[in-house]
Amino acid sequence: MKHVETDEDKLQCIGCKEGYGGRRCEKCVDGYFRLSSDEHCRKCLCYGRSKHCDRAGHCTFCEDNTTGYSCERCQDDYIGDPMHNRPCIHKDKIKATSAHTGGIVAGVCIGLLILIGVVVGYILYRKCNSLPNGNKFWTVELKDDHERVNFSALPEDEIQARRMDYDFYQDQGGNRGRDGSQKYSHLQEV
């Protein structure tokens, strides 16, 4: 600390320690406080939201929509966390932002559904085109009594041929395994 004479022949300190000021470095400067005259000047804890505090350390003139002893909370109708460096934003702006986000999510979901529909349609198209000409991929047939419907992935004549093969196989007694269950065997021409 250096002393300098002033015009009134009084000494004034220059180069006070950080946080101190005044003619003899006896006061706390803005941003610092002390509770009693025998304590050291302490830095105001305002989380960077104010440069001023009163003699008790209470932050004054909190900025960025903050309030509280240390500018540690958001003002009414504001949402954020000043203590963790999250700004206080008016709740109406947050609702507007989340509404846009909901629209984006809905758009992405619809786009994915359309993409899935196109892929499935393409796969079915390729499946249908891979069948030999004249064969049906899927048939829906109304029975003669007009009360029943037959759904099949095979043509009716092939279904009838398989039924006849099965009936013939059953008439021949089938082939039974050791446990009594029917065992499959290939049909042979006689």
What are the tokens at 36? 């009693």
* Identity of the amino acid at 131: L
Taking 70 as the pLDDT cut, the residues of the chain under it are 1-9, 95-102, 130-139, 152-156, 159, 173-190
The pLDDT value recorded for residue 117 is 93
Record the pTM.
Answer: 0.41
Q: How far is CA 26 from CA 2, 3, 37, 103, in A?
A: 14, 14, 9, 61
What is d(CA 16, CA 68) in angstroms, rounded to the nearest whole number? 30
* pLDDT number for residue 92: 85
Q: Whose CA is closest to 1, among 19, 25, 22? A: 25
- For 174, left (φ over 0), alpha (ψ -120 to 50), or beta? left
Contact 31, 45 (CB under 8 A): no
Task: Tell which CATH architecture fits domain 2-92.
Answer: Ribbon (2.10)
Furthest C-alpha separation in the chain: 137
pLDDT at 25: 87
Place of tokens 């979901």: 109
Q: How high is the pLDDT of residue 182?
A: 55
Q: What confidence score (pLDDT) does residue 99 get?
A: 55
| Dist CA 40 CA 36 (whole Å) | 9
Task: Give the pLDDT confidence score for residue 64 in this predicted structure.
Answer: 92
Question: Can you give the residue ranges of every domain in the chain?
Answer: 2-92, 126-178
